[in-house]
Structures are given as C-alpha cells and as structure tokens.
Amino acid sequence: MDIASKKLPIILIIVLLGILALQFYANDSKGGKFVDPQTCEIYIKDPQINSKEYLDEFDSKCLEFKNLNP
C-alpha cells in the first residue's frame, strides 16, 4: 500500500476514531467528579471499591439553585 492510495486515509480515519472511542470509554470507566444533589458537595467515585470520596468542595451552581428553590 503506497501513500497515494485512496484506502490509506480511510484506514487512518478508522484507526483514529477507534483510539478516540477507547479514550472516552477509559475516562468514563474511571469515574469522574459528581455532585451530591442533597448537599451540593463534589465527590469522586472509585469504581474498584464502589465508594464515594468527598472533596470538601461545593458546586456553586447547585448551591444557587437550592437557594432559589427553598
């Protein structure tokens, strides 16, 4: 397969899309920052032991929303 081939760009696009999909999957499975809806506190979820670790930080948008709706 030479560089001037019409199949090469298609193969490269498919490979790059596959790598991108794997990155999204890896980021989702690690867990991310979440907001506790009752306290508005930010926590991370540990997928290995399925537990929450609170970061002692609060989401400002959540707090504003809670103050508007008593």
Joined tokens for residue 60: 């400002």
Q: Cα(8)–Cα(16) distance, rounded to whole angstroms?
A: 12
Answer yes or no: are the C-beta atoms of 41 and 35 closer than 8 Å. Answer: yes
What are 24-59's pLDDT values in tens digits? 877 665 557 788 888 889 888 877 787 888 888 888
pTM above 0.85, yes or no: no
Q: Cα(29)–Cα(44) distance, rounded to whole angstroms?
A: 12
Joined tokens for residue 14: 């498919």
- Per DSSP (E only), the strands in 1-70 are 33-35, 41-46, 51-58
Joined tokens for residue 66: 């809670």
